[in-house]
Each structure stands twice: as C-alpha cells, then as structure tokens.
Amino acid sequence: MNVPNVETGTLWSAFPLDEATVAQIEERFSKFLGKKLKLHLKVEPEIIGGIIVSIGDRIYDGSLKGQLSRIKEHLLDFQKGDMVDLVTGVKSSEQLTDMASVGEFIRERIQEYQQEFDVENVGRVVRSGDGVVLISGLSDCMYGELLRFEGGTFGIAFNLEEDAVGAVLLNNQNSVAAGTMVYSTGKMVQVPVGESLLGRVVNPLGQPLDGKGPIRPEGYREIENKAPGIYERDVVNQPLQTGLLAIDSMIPIGKGQRQLIIGDRQTGKTAIALDTIVNQKGKDVICVYVAIGQKASTVSQVINTLREMGAMDYTIVVSATASDSATMQYIAPYAGCAMAEYFMYKGRDVLIVYDDLSKHAVAYRTLSLLLRRPPGREAYPGDIFYLHSRLLERSAKLSKEKGGGSLTALPIIETQAGDISAYIPTNVISITDGQIFLEDELFFAGIRPAVNVGLSVSRVGKAAQIKAMAKVSGTLRLELAQYRELQVFSQFNSELDPSTQQLLAQGERITEMLKQEQYHPMDVVHQVILLYVVTRKMLLDVPVNRIQEFKQQFIEYMECYHRNVIENIRQSGDITEEDMAQIETAVKDFKPTFLKQ
C-alpha cells in the first residue's frame, strides 16, 4: 500500500474558519503544488482580513494587511485634488477635496479588494560568525545566488546542503545574528559595466572608492559567466606588446592569451604587469587591474603610478585589500572579469591583471574552512583547481562572428623560495598558456626584469610576434642559454680560447641590452632595431657598462637620420634586406662618434 505524499503547512486567518472552508483552501493549494496538503488553522486578528498560507519556506500572502501596506505606499503620492489609484497606481480622475473623500475612496477600494498572493522563498539564520552563516529553509535556493537579509545585508549562497544553506556575507557582517530572516532574490551577484567605469577605482561590487561621485553604468553583468566555447574562439595571432624587450622578444604574449607571471615576493611581478598596462597607451586596449588581498598603501601607489603615466584614462582598478573580508577578496577577480568581458563582447581588446591569485586561493580556503568543507592538500578544498580554471578560461580571442574582441589575462602567483612545484603554482601553470618566471637571484644581481629564460615559456610563441621581431630574435634564447652555461664553467678556468671569450662577451652584451628601467616601455620597432644590432655582434667593441647609454643614443640617432627605416618596419611589420643594410651602415657611422665620448 502506497502512503500518499502529504505536506503540512500553516493557515493564518483573521477569524475562525469552518472545516469546509479550510478543506476548500487545502484542495486549491494541493492542485497548485501538485501534492496532498494538510493545513493547521491559526487565528491572527492582526492580518485584518484574507489569509496567509505558510508551506515549508514559502509564504503566500493574501492578507488585507499586506494589501494595506501597499496602499500606504501609494498614499504618499496623494496631493489635494489629485489621487493615485490605490489599486492600479494610476492617477484617478476623481477630484478628492478633503480627507473624508480620501477615507471613502479607501473604503471603496477595500470592498473591491481581490486576493493576490505574494510568494517569497524565505529562511532563517541558524548560526552566524566570521562572515559565514548557516540558514534553515530556502529550499529553492541556487548555488551562487544573491541572498537578502533583514537589515539590508546581502550574501551569496555557497553550500547547498540537504536541510540547510551555507552563505557568506558581503557587507554589514556584524548585523546578522541567529534568527535573522533571509530572502531569496532569484538573481546572481551582478556588477555595473560600461565606459563610465574607466578611470575609476571600485570595490568588487562596483561601488566607487575614489570619491569621484556615483557611477552611471550602461548595464549590469553577472560576475560568474560561462567561458566562450571552442567554436566562438579564434586563433591567438595578434601581439600584445608589453614594451619589455626581454618578454616581447623571447616570451611573446598574444591578444586572448593567459600568460602567468610567477616568482617570489619583491621580484618585480607587479612591475611587469604595470609596464604592460602603461604600454597600451594609445593602442585602443582597455585595461583592468584587480588587486586582491594587498595593503591599501600598495594599491594606492599603483593607482598614483598609473595616473602619473596617463594610464588611468583607459584603466579600471578593482580593489579588495587585505582589510576587506575574505568574501570580497574571493569575488574580486570574477567582478573584474565581468567588467572586462563587457568590452570584449563589444569587439574591443582588453587586458586584465589578477594581482594575485595566491591570495585569492587563500581567501577561498578561508571561506571553505569556515563553511566546514572537507580540506584537501595544504588545507585547500577539493575544487581549488576549478576556482581558477573557470576564471581564466573566460579569457579568449573571439571569432569575427562574435565581434572579434579579445580578453588577455596576466594572472600573478607568488611562490615561496622559488618553488614552482607547490600546489597553487602547478595548478595555475597547467591552466595558463605559458609563464614568465622571475628569479630573485637575477633580481638582486641587477638584471631587471629578472626573467629566467630557461623556465619561462609562451605556448603561443612566434605566432604572437610581428615578422620583424621573429626574424631578429630567433637565436636570442639559444645565445643566452649558452652564455649562462659558459659563465658557470668560466669561473673555474682562467684560460679561455678566443671563441669562448667571444661567446661570453656577446652574452654579457645581450644581457645588458635586455635590462630595462621600470615604467619605460619600449616601442616594438626600437626593440627590433636594437636586437638586430646586438644579435649581429656589432657591439663587441662597445664596453658593457656603456650598453645602456648606447641604446638610448642610437635610437635617437635612428629617429633623426634614418626615420625611413623605422617607418618601413612599423608599416609593414617586417624587416627587409635594405632595412638591415641601412641599420648596419648607421651603426658604423654612429659607433666611432659614440666611443669617443
């Protein structure tokens, strides 16, 4: 024998109801819900008239008290001789001249009152602490849904358990206590998007932090979005110049690529990202810088630097500092990505920097442990890989049918003692399309950017370089590798043959040529000319300590006397035999004058 599926609920009425009326209401709601329903009657005179039905975590409000609360709102629009219709909200043609007429008008509308159900999915906080709450009810809640708490606090549904929902709070964390009512919104967390965000500093919810007034967005976009599929993507073959000679020549970045910047603290990771943002000036590339878990003073320095370099005009800064909650740090990169995606789907090229995802993973671990999720390796939850993969996969070069926009990501990861085999570094390395590895030994030796060419790689390679750069940088990595190897052996032997001495001298000059000051990005054509000069061994007679001086003066000389070569390379993207011959002639003419200085 099958036991019927019976659900119980509560029926509130302003006055006692007979059994037949209760049975009629039960029948009506049983048809509506598709299951047998048993209601327990409770008399509550405060609801004035009508009924309220509570079934699980849903409330169907058809009471007169609920209607009157809406009437009260409409009464605020009352003006003498002009009345807003209390039912429809449309201004009435009746001319009401005194409050007696208003009272009569309200009585008429109450008599015409028809029952309407106001359905809400509600729950109640069971436990609250450290910005994390446990909620009973909310049976229809979705993962990642925005929840509204009594008192104006908002949160995100994080854990969907059998009889409870775990949520993290976004604001006013101390205002939520056990017993607080929680309401579903049916929406995911959204952030404002549009041109009005350019030049602004905002928190992960899109609220301004720079004191420049409110933001008037062109729309809103959910922070979690599905990454473009394979058929929506195009080949990554357009270079995104960083302005850094060492990177553009050997570890090129293409528009739509995800290139990891990895290294110990204080090795210049953020400097590379900022140089890349500064280098996009005048190139119609939108930039988004996401600061996660950093000191407020550090973020302030970054903003001031970008402003001084004129880069804030095309940049959005999303800041979740170390003093912000773990929840805000967790949603920061997703919010920044949503703002960047808006421009990508408009057909624009966008660069986004996540600084850094190590702190993002720590924030997520904090939330997961507070929600009592089972810990895994290094106490991180089991889905830590998915955390970053679903973020970085949203970077893409879209096909022409989708507008042809691109989103290039530069995630930053901090290592401990150069250990790139740790949990989070290996995760992100496997997700990205290459990495730029910065080494502290090189940094302290004065080689900046401190790029370890042996451990750095771009999986896009020469496809993301202009032809001229691909031609002149072909042997660069090999020559540097030979130099580093010979440098080690030369320490043990003072007598070296001439060919080895020449290799060491050439390696020293290449290394010196690749050094570059921070916030001084170099034009790609200037890079091509300098690389051609140094790889063709034209600088062996120039002292190593004067290479930096030679770089600056020779480019000025070329701009002044051989402007046609620079324009030819810039327009064609290639370097011809004639251009090469002219560069060699220019070196021969310039070098004697330079060496006499």
Task: Kindly state whether residues 477 and 444 are assigned to the same domain.
Answer: no
314 pLDDT more than 60? yes
Residue 546: partners with Cβ closer than 8 Å, 6 or more residues away: 594
36 forms beta bridges with 6
Q: Are residues 551 and 457 in the same domain?
A: no
Asked if 452 and 308 sit in the same domain, the reply is yes
Q: Do β-strands 83-84 and 457-458 pair in parallel, antiparallel, or remain unpaired?
A: unpaired
Average confidence (pLDDT) over 441-451: 92
pLDDT, one tens digit per residue, over 195-242 is 999 999 999 999 999 999 999 999 999 999 999 999 999 999 999 999
Residues 285 and 430 in one domain: yes
Per-residue pLDDT tens for 241-271?
Answer: 999 999 999 999 999 999 999 999 999 999 9
In-domain check, residue 201 = no
Q: Are residues 429 and 540 in the same domain?
A: no
294 and 330 in one domain? Answer: yes
β pairing state of 260-263 and 285-292: unpaired
Whether the predicted model's global pTM rises above the 0.85 cut: no
Radius of gyration of the chain (CA): 33
Residue 108 pLDDT exceeds 80: no
Mean pLDDT of the chain, nearest integer: 88
pLDDT above 90 coverage of the chain, percent: 67
342, 385: one domain: yes
Contacts of 325 (CB under 8 A, 6+ apart): 131, 169, 170, 173
Q: Domain of residue 60: give its range.
A: 6-111
SS (H, E, C) 57-116: CEEEEEEHHHHHHHHHHHHCCCECCEEECCCCCCEECCCCCCHHHHHHHHHHHHHCCCCC
Q: How many angstroms from the chain centroid is the CA of residue 486?
A: 43
517 with 432, same domain: the answer is no
* Cα–Cα distance for residue pair 417/258, rounded to 1 Å: 24
Last residue of a domain, one of 465, 490, 518: 465
Of 437, 465, 493, which one is at a domain's C-terminal end? 465
Give the residue from 465, 489, 510 where a domain finishes. 465
Q: Determine the Cα–Cα distance for residues 562 and 578; give it in Å rounded to an integer.
A: 12
Q: Which of the 8 DSSP states describes residue 34? A: T
- Distance, CA of 583 to CA of 529 (rounded, Å): 7
458 & 486 share domain: no
Residue 302 counted as domain residue? yes
Residue 227 lies in a domain: no
pLDDT category, 87, cuts 50, 70, 90? very low
CA atoms of 128 and 168, how far apart (whole Å): 10
Please, are residues 261 and 271 in contact by the beta-carbon 8 Å criterion? Answer: no
Q: List the catalytic residue out of 148, 348, 459, 546.
A: 459
What is the residue whose two structure tokens read 């590339």?
285
**Residue closest to 319 by CA, chosen among 308, 309, 2, 306:** 306
In a domain, 223, yes or no: no
**Mean pLDDT within 62-84:** 57
Q: What is the pLDDT of residue 3?
A: 42
CA atoms within 13 A on the CB side of 582: 17
Q: Is there a single domain that holds both residue 13 and residue 29?
A: yes
**Structurally, how many domains does the chain consist of?**
4
Q: What is the pLDDT of residues 545-561, one digit of tens each?
A: 999 999 999 999 999 99
Residues 502 and 432 in one domain: no
Among 148, 108, 125, 119, smallest CA distance to 60 is for 119
288 lies in a domain? yes
CA distance 145 to 187: 6
Domain at 390, CATH number: 3.40.50.300
Q: What are phi and psi of 232, to 5 degrees?
A: -90, -5
Let me know if 459 is a catalytic residue: yes
Asked whether residue 152 is domain-assigned, the answer is yes
Say which CATH number the domain at 157 has: 2.40.30.20
129 & 71 share domain = no
| 337 is a domain residue | yes
Q: What confidence category does residue 40 fall into, taking pLDDT thresholds of 50, 70 and 90?
A: confident
Q: How far apart are CA 41 and CA 24, in angstroms?
A: 13
- Report yes or no on 233 lying in a domain: no
